Structure 1
């Protein structure tokens, strides 16, 4: 369980990015397109579950997209915990950019790509979401989950942009500086929630991935 500080109940939220997919490896833009884990992604998820940074997990939530729910399933098996899928935990919707490579997007939408890289807070993806919209969705849903499960250790397996916009809100980083944050596949982020406010303990933790590398050197 998370702890109670004085009379204030503190809830721990462990945000996890899904394991690698083939489209990650190809550096394709995708958000709502449902792509499963690659062989490497499955291995990353297994290493995460077997070396999870928390000894107790009370609840596991996951984006309803396969790459997230399959990553969550490894954690659920490790802790004998059911996974609850939630559409509100999805990645940003990349609209017409879904499935395209950087160069393909740059060729057709050069100005939008410039804004994506320099002022993500001002970007409107064609037929997609804005980062502001995703941030509002992320903050609202994770806050609801925390309020409904006060004092518990909660895992939420989701996506890179979703996690970064939530971290930006928690750290009071303007969205224009969103790319100052990085999320590797199966990275772990730990936040504490109390009475509507957030405290960040860990960002982009990947120690579990190094365990396999160390084993191969001995």
Structure 2
């Protein structure tokens, strides 16, 4: 693992330690072609799968040994998981699936920019969104909180063990905003590149620092 600790709590040497790894899936048709999507169950592209294998061979990912392993159950997260960790048994946390873009699912960026509320969110002018027929800030946040509660329950029941979740860019951004609310980053500042993510250290289920993967 390599990276830079950006936020550190001074009381990191006491309490039960758990590390949570959030890994974004590899490139899909959507990420490669700048198509707006979230709930559409896209597969990895050939190049996306190759990039994940290259990152795996570089040794950037954590070991699955003795770790609690999860995906969101979507095809792109399952494929990414298998490329990194093979056929390891794992669970799913569907609450941590990507934002549902509703009527803007699979829309090109040009069309998204024609929808003023989405344009403002996409450009980082506001942290609120409300996609017609899809998620709003409120519905997505409620779902993320439920998913985070599940992660906390997993770590509580497995003290000292790593938890690894292969999930989505928007979800990772939302979780980082939740866990490190004292850092004034907008959603896009937290967004990792496909195949990358964060290692978050918890003490007694409280997040104390993180490292970029």
Short-chain TM bin: 0.7 to 0.9
Which residue of 2 is the match for residue 36 of structure 1?
A: 43
**1:82-121 equivalences in 2 (<5 Å):** 82-107=89-114, 109-121=115-127
SS at 1:122's partner residue? coil
Q: How much has 1:153 moved relative to structure 2?
A: 1.3
> Take 2:174 and 2:27, find their aligned partners in 1: how far apart are those partners?
20
> Do the aligned partners of 2:69 and 2:164 also contact (CA within 8 Å) in 1?
yes
Say if 1:53 and 1:105 are closer, same or farther in 2 by CA, change over 3 A.
Answer: closer
CA distance in 2 between counterparts of 1:175 and 1:129 reads 23
Q: Is the 8 A contact 2:38 2:98 kept in 1?
A: yes
SS of equivalent residue, structure 2 residue 91: strand
Is 1:190 aligned to residue 196 of structure 2?
Answer: no
Larger RCO, structures 1/2 (Cα 8 Å, 6+ apart):
2
CA–CA distance in structure 2, aligned partners of residues 125 and 106 of structure 1:
13
Deviation beyond 4 Å, 4+ runs, structure 1: 173-176
Give TM-score scaled by structure 2 length: 0.81
- Which runs of structure 2 are paired with 1:130-145 in the superposition (5 Å)? 130-132=136-138, 133-134=140-141, 135-145=144-154
The 3-state SS of whatever aligns with 1:41 is helix
**Aligned to 2:134, which of 128, 131, 134?**
128
Aligned length: 197
Secondary structure of the equivalent of 1:118? coil
Q: Which has the higher helix share?
A: 1
1:175-212 CA-partner distances (Å, limit 9, x unpaired) = 88222223101003100123231123213x3xxxxxxx
TM-score (normalizing by structure 1): 0.79
User: Structure 1: 5+ residue runs without aligned partners?
Assistant: 206-218
Structure 1 111/130 Cα, relative in aligned 2: closer, same or farther at 3 Å? closer
Q: How well do the aligned residues superpose, as a CA RMSD in angstroms? A: 2.4
Find the aligned partners of 1:49 and 1:25 in 2 and give their Cα distance: 20
- What SS does the corresponding residue of 1:121 show, helix, strand or coil? coil
Where structure 2 has 5 or more consecutive residues not aligned to the other structure, the ranges are 1-11
Given that 2:26 and 2:195 are in contact with CA atoms closer than 8 Å, whether structure 1 keeps it comes out as yes
Is residue 69 of structure 2 the alignment partner of residue 49 of structure 1?
Answer: no
Q: 1:189 to 1:180 in 2, by over 3 A?
A: same
